[in-house]
Amino acid sequence: MSVLKEVHFTPEPRPAELPMKIWLDDGDSAVDVIDALALSPFATGAQPWACTAALERVRPDAPLMPAAGTLVRAALEDDGRSSRLVCGEGWTLRVVRFRNRAATVSVTAVDEGLARSVLEEVTRDAVEPAPESDHVEMGFWWQGSHGGRRSAKPITASPWAKISGNYARSLGDPLSRLMSVTPADVRGRLVLLHGPPGTGKTTLLRTLAHEWRSWCQVDCVLDPERLFNSPGYLMEVAVGSDEDGEKWRLLVLEDCDELIRSGAKEAVGQGLSRLLNLTDGLLGQGRDVLVAITTNEDLARLHPAVVRPGRCLTQIEVGALPHDEAAHWLGTTEGVPPAGATLAELFALRDGTADRPAAAQETIGLYL
């Protein structure tokens, strides 16, 4: 049975203060209590200024606490999330740290200057610099309990010149054109990569993030099935975050077979319509947003509205390397099937982790 408890906060009276009441039940956690306590001085008007910073790559030894301050509450959740409430003269600090080394720091204070100075002190030297060389920053979206959340992470991404030999020569021109696209070249808003598993579609998207890094922020949506079933979540992702700045944005949706195959509208409701609206409908108007989709489906099985002329910036079938190109890549014909091999199969053969197929073996079933 849920037990409802009424909690009253009665800070020192001020002329501009407003009353505040918080109701808690047994579904709330210690972290929820800290959240409520942190909001109290702002809600009542005792500390009317607030500022927040979302941090990534937080140093493990970063205290995220000013020199002058008293820790008044601390909580640790089963998922590795920790929350602390720190109070000082005229200010309140709430720090939430996550297992993935991200953190959210919120400060309320009696004036703007104090709030900003506390936030600056807490976050100073707290974040490790992003790795250079073969890394690029990519955002990751998912729907949390309080709406969409975005976390930015450095990922390994090789330049196109370094990986172009992993793809069939017939794809050289279309893939090179895609990698060299600039904002002035954008006509359609959809990038469609289709083909069997293991052919390197995800690698292409990481490389695309590297080649477009000067003008386009790449974000991967981890739960695309929720994205197009939740208008509020879709709007958050479509609008983006302040971190995106003036750049274009590329939203990556991987393995969205059900969303874009023929008959998708009947199968998944409004999802397909909302996707199309994001690419060239009212939702997409005025927003510099591109959408990249990978699918294992054959082009003939995709919904005609997805592949109609003018909608796609590019649509490329990423297949296996032909036998002669696969043998050249591997340096030997041993183990290479007559029909060729996917990139994943070639890496497995090279690393000795694949079973060598018998000469007359019949291929049955799906490659996973």
Which CATH superfamily hosts domain 135-317?
P-loop containing nucleotide triphosphate hydrolases (3.40.50.300)
Average pLDDT, the chain: 83
CA 244 to each of CA 128, 151, 152, 220, 325: distance values in angstroms, whole numbers, following the listed order: 20, 12, 11, 13, 40
- pLDDT class for 4, splitting at 50, 70, 90? very low
Give CA–CA dist 349/328, Å, rounded.
13
Residue keyed to tokens 């999802």 = 271
Q: According to the model, what pLDDT value does residue 170 have? A: 96
Return the HEC string of 135-175. Answer: EEEEEEEEEECCEEEEEEEEEECCCHHHHHHHCCHHHHHHH
Residue 108 and residue 110: Cα distance in Å, rounded?
7
DSSP H or E stretch at residue 51: strand 49-55
Interval 259-304: pLDDT, tens: 665 554 444 456 677 777 777 655 556 678 898 988 887 766 676 6
Average pLDDT over every residue of 139-152: 87
Q: What is the pLDDT of residue 2?
A: 40
Q: How far apart are CA 347 and CA 40, in angstroms?
A: 57
One-letter-per-residue 3-state SS of 175-211: HHHHHCCCHHHCCCCEEEEECCCCCCHHHHHHHHHHH
Q: Model's pTM, two decimal places?
A: 0.65
Greatest CA span in the chain, whole angstroms? 88
Q: What fold is seen in the domain 5-123?
A: TATA-Binding Protein (3.30.310)
Pairing of strands 49-55, 312-317: unpaired
131 vs 321 pLDDT, higher one: 321
Classify residue 144 by burial, with Cβ atoms within 10 Å: 0-12, 13-18, 19+: exposed
93-121, pLDDT tens digit by residue?
999 999 888 999 999 999 999 999 999 99
Check whether 11 has a pLDDT greater than 60.
Answer: no
For the chain, domain boundaries: 5-123, 135-317
